[in-house]
């Protein structure tokens, strides 16, 4: 499974986005430690507040299918500027995925690359409970 496969999966997931309210369609794809790809798209609804980002959909899908260890995540939006995970997604990705590699891309090219730990310095997690 190459990085291009992961980005392609995020691009494909994006085509399923339900973004009727923002028109901002996002796809995400997580790679598990055994090379499985689990993808997600953002899903908005009429309350706005119950909308959920592509990254959390991908992570919750993966967890609910029994995946426990992850290597990297790709996030795709149709923008020139990179679309990094929001704060809520950083927290969830960190708690369940650890210091993932985060690959950002648009429809044509990579737009950024980070370690999740750099995007979420001083995280709150179970070690502090």
Q: Which residues are catalytic?
A: 55
CB of 129 to ligand THU, least distance (A): 27
Is 32 one of the binding residues for ligand THU (CB under 6 A)? no
DSSP string, 5-28: HHHHHHHHHHTT-B-TTT---EEE
Residue 54 found at the interface with ligand THU (CB under 6 A): yes
Query: Considering the complex, what minimum distance in angstroms separates the CB of residue 54 from ligand THU?
Result: 4
Q: With binding defined as CB under 6 A, does residue 44 bind ligand THU?
A: yes
Alpha carbon distance 58, 82 (integer Å):
19
Stretch that binds ligand THU, among 51-59, 64-72, 109-117, 118-126 (CB under 6 A): 51-59
Q: From the CB of 22, what's the least distance to ligand THU, in Å?
A: 4
> Using an 8 Å Cβ cutoff, are 30 and 37 in contact?
yes
* Residue 31 touches ligand THU, criterion: CB under 6 A: no
Tell me how far CA of residue 123 lies from CA of 21, 91, 101, 103, in angstroms: 31, 8, 16, 20
């Amino acid at each position: 499974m190459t990085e291009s496969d992961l980005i392609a999966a995020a691009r494909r997931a994006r085509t399923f986005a339900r973004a009727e309210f923002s028109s901002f369609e996002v796809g995400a794809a997580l790679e598990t430690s055994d090379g499985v790809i689990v993808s997600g798209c953002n899903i908005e609804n009429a309350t706005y507040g119950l909308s959920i980002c592509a990254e959390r959909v991908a992570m919750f899908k993966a967890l609910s299918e029994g995946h426990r260890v992850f290597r990297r995540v790709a996030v795709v939006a149709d923008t020139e500027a990179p679309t990094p995970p929001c704060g809520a997604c950083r927290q969830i990705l960190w708690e369940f995925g650890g210091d993932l590699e985060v690959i950002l891309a648009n429809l044509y090219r990579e737009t950024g690359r980070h370690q999740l730990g750099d995007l979420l310095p001083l995280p709150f997690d179970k070690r502090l409970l």
